Structure 1
Amino acid sequence: MSAEAGAAAGSLPIALDAAGGDHGAVPNVEGAVLAARAGVSVLLVGERVALHAELGKFPGSAALPLEIVDASDVIGMDEHASDVRSRTGASINVCTRLVKEGRAAAAVSMGHSGATMASALLTFGRIRGVERPAILTHLPARGGMTTLLDAGANADVKASYYAQWARLATVYLKVLEDQDSPTVGLLSIGEEDHKGSALVIEAHALLRGLHGQGINFHGNVEGRDIFLGTTDIVVTDGFTGNVVLKLAEGEARVMFGWIRDALNSGLKSKLGGLLVRGSLRGLAERMDPSTYGASILIGVKGLAFIGHGGANATAVKNALLRASRAHEGRLLPRLEVAFGEGAAPLAGTEG
């Protein structure tokens, strides 16, 4: 199925950087096949011969809505993100161009996250009124999930960024999770309004002033609140957000290791392990990062999703499904409207 045919049918394909990630084409192609079987059209971007060979391993793939777009170059995980400026033929640049040209609905990459951010920002530009795009991700929490941003795009921030990110995340949850009025928490070292750094105190005042104007501000939250699900959204700087994300992923692995060791420590423990196997499997799936597939770079004028370098086929599939949902739900136009005439002005957003 060609990109033009997909556009004519009213359902644009998703451009997948099929060369990106720690494991190259293998999980990307399998994930694309799984997504295509679920009804999502995919453009596999990468070295044509290698992708054809990998795709040939899946019986019936020729009948699926999959197309290969050739890109002989790929920005490796150990290369510089700034390489996107000069290496126009790199797979991630081909993906973002396909979106910019209207041939794809979104770009998805499990490759170099910095290169993906740089390519998206250079190709799409920012939504008017957004000073810096942010990485929006999800963390498992009591009762569901907590949406966290920024998860690593901006180590140095201004107070106005927090307000912009809160608005972006609010629209995102309305579109993709059907949440009418998600609550927003500001990550700090205490719940009281006066707690935190000078920057956090300034951001708190700004968010409090915007409460009820497109933002449902709860107030300050602490680290534990992220996993208690105290608010639907938590905003913080990208340095702190990335530390939180990596800490959560690492703690989950360690915790399951402890549980596995405990259940294998003796005959009685092994018998007990058999009884709780199903519950533990459900818990593991809930805490598995592949459940959400990829994080959106929110705030650019195009849909771009960034996955983990070690992503498996399930993560790739779920990233493609989420990207398709974002496009079908008209996320980008709705984000632009939120920063248009109907939105309350945010400090520092003179455009």
Structure 2
Amino acid sequence: MAYDALKTRLCGVTTALVTPFRNGEVDYRAFADLINWQIEEGIQALSPCGTTGEAPTLNTAEKIRLIKSCVEVSARRVPVIAGTGTNDTLSTIALTSAAAACGADAALIVTPYYNRPSQEGLYRHFEAVANNTQIPIILYNVPTRTGVDLSLDTIERLCKHPAIIGIKDATGDLDRPKRLIRRLGSRLIQLSGHDTTSTAFNLEGGDGTISVISNVVPAAMVAIHNACQRNDGCSARSLAFALKPLLMALEQDTNPVPIKYALHHTRGLSPDVRLPLVRANEETMAAIRRALAALDPDAHPIAALRDIDGNNRTQLAVVPR
């Protein structure tokens, strides 16, 4: 797929997929079911093996199989953005090359964590990956997880490389989209990596979201994005406000612990996570159940928002199995 065409297809909502486990092993059947449901609900791209997918506790063979499974199950219906970042440049190159061989459309590469490189080190890391792999790259900036923040100057340097096509911004800084647009125009697609601020981010010039909450409410997140694209801030904010209780409940524990419980409650997926993460406690589970119950389509204000995207398929209701 040509880079410009891919950039257009990635302007939307990408689900940062959870990795389902069963008895400590990856549940590939449940993973496939989740992928198919996401596509049926209108999600625009899929991202396996990221933070939400518990990449730090997946071994290399599991990552490659998950990426390959995502490519095969999605069957080119939507792009696949494979999480391939590590804090070792050579390992990142190897995993990114493997993702390309699996057929992934792009790689999502997080800033190196723990070793906390300088801005020059960050630049050289991403440059080396871009120079030694055959796949478009989306930078992933999440300082709260990694301890380093890609500066605007470094992003501007990096976007001169033709393989670097976008950035997932999980800083929560709502000034960044416009500041990058002033510097770079449309050279770099900007994707929010922070569900709580994603509506404001996209109304300020962002191009989409790589979302956690869309694991549970994909159609609602697509509706919010479409409202942002129409510059219909009133509708976008109204629907985002309806999701606020669930967003707050999902922040009561470390991602992906809460979203896995939400998927367990709504779609029957196992809530299992791998150590050192543990399942959600009762307080978090109760908060999630209350928030999901509030999304009843007959409850105000959800009923008025069900068709916000202009069709009858889009609605916010979540009905537990």
So what's the TM-score if we normalise by structure 2?
0.29
Q: What is the TM-score of this pair, normalised by structure 1?
A: 0.28
Structure whose CA Rg is larger: 1
Using CA pairs below 8 Å that are at least 6 residues apart, which structure has the higher relative contact order? 1
